[in-house]
Amino acid sequence: MTETLFLTSDEVAGLATPAEFVDAVRQGYRQQGPAEPRTKLLNDAPQGMLTGYLAILPETGAMGGYTYAAGFEGGDVHFVLPLFDARSGDPLALIDGASLNPFKTGATGAVGVDALAREDATTLSIIGTGAQARGQLRATMTVRDFETVNVYSPTKEHREAFASEMNGEYDASVGAVASRDAAVEGADVVVTATTADEPVFDGGLLEPGTHVTAMGQYDRVKRELDARTVERATYVLDLRARAEQDAGALIQAIEEGVVGADHLHGDLGEVLAGDVPGRQSDEEITVFDSGGTGIETVAAAYLLYRKAEEEGLGEPIDFAPGSQALTGR
């Protein structure tokens, strides 16, 4: 039998800091190990979605993925994260990934900001106020010294509550703004973390030098960014293969004839490895389109696994090797 560590969502919640997640995810993308874009299966009756993705991080020595079911008759979502040793193939951990999700996604957004935003960026705008927006803010605050954070949601109570909560966590001034235009104008970095099907701001309002991180959509027919934003920007994906699968902002801009099929500048791993340049001028507009990959998930999971081992967390469970089970030995 192979001993594997089972970790609950409560055990991994708060186990690592946002900065530690950012460092782990950055190292994961730099490795450029094998990774597949998201696979999404939709079911009509009962209505629901089964999603998963995989990655191998050869230098970290870990591999695994993420599978989650959303909707169906339960109307909820559950995240299952298996982690394996990339050398032996043995299972290392089985993790309930519910509390992990905003942290690993936020870390990826922050790595994109760190790679593509101006070094002197001081004004951050967040469009969205849910759990993912909180994850994006907490991680992004570790990579730049922001002085001002503007928050927008169509619901006044949501944006004001978000600003009030976050204002107590940081030295930066965090405040709610009354419109999406106000969020975009004057921002050095704009982060979109919404469930919107259509663009959430007018790309013509972006000022030269702005960086945009979009992380709320991964669907061919849905997008947070309009074609004008894509057209004006050096456009980077988290994984190049998404360009033909679910990067809706890019796919729709190409279909509208606004940009060509060669508009993709590269993916995050290529930028971090130096295979393609990142930001090349202070006037350049940059976009990082993050839809989620197995890279960030495996990197974050391995971080939590090592920290859990150090702190004696988790319950050992046994997995039978296939050779033993198949032969009956």
The helix or strand, by DSSP H or E, that contains position 320, with its residue range, turns out to be none
> Can you give the pLDDT at residue 197?
87
In whole angstroms, what separates CA 113 from the centre of its chain?
A: 12
* CA–CA distance, 213 with 268 (Å, rounded to integer): 12
> Can you give the pLDDT at residue 323?
80
> Can you give the pLDDT at residue 246?
86
**pLDDT tier for residue 321 given thresholds of 50, 70 and 90:** confident
> DSSP 3-state assignment of 133?
helix
Instruction: Please give the mean pLDDT across all residues of the chain.
Output: 94
* Among 244, 286, 287, CA closest to 262: 244
**pLDDT tier for residue 327 given thresholds of 50, 70 and 90:** low
Contact 172, 150 (CB under 8 A): no
pLDDT digits (tens, 9 = 90+) for 127-165: 999 999 999 999 999 999 999 999 999 999 999 999 999
Task: Compute the average pLDDT of residues 81-91.
Answer: 96
Task: Compute the average pLDDT of residues 272-295.
Answer: 95
Task: Compute the average pLDDT of residues 278-307.
Answer: 96
Residue type, 153: S
pLDDT digits (tens, 9 = 90+) for 192-214: 999 888 999 999 999 999 999 99
Pure H helices in the chain: 9-12, 18-31, 101-116, 131-140, 156-167, 180-184, 227-232, 248-255, 268-273, 294-311, 322-327
**pLDDT tier for residue 329 given thresholds of 50, 70 and 90:** low
The residue ranking higher by pLDDT, 220 or 24, is 24
**pLDDT tier for residue 324 given thresholds of 50, 70 and 90:** confident
Q: What is the 3-state secondary structure (H, E, C) of 266-306?
A: EEHHHHHHCCCCCCCCCCCEEEEECCCCHHHHHHHHHHHHH
* CA–CA distance, 228 with 258 (Å, rounded to integer): 8
> Can you give the pLDDT at residue 1?
80
pLDDT digits (tens, 9 = 90+) for 19-57: 999 999 999 999 989 998 888 899 999 999 999 999 999
DSSP per-residue codes, 215-272: -S---TT--SS-HHHHHHEEEEESSGGGGGTT-HHHHHHHHTTSS-TT-EEEEHHHHH
pTM (predicted TM-score): 0.93
Task: Compute the average pLDDT of residues 232-236.
Answer: 97
The residue ranking higher by pLDDT, 15 or 32, is 15
Q: Going from the N-terminus, what domains does the chain have, and what CATH number goes with each? A: 2-101+294-327 (3.30.1780.10), 117-289 (3.40.50.720)
> Can you give the pLDDT at residue 328?
57
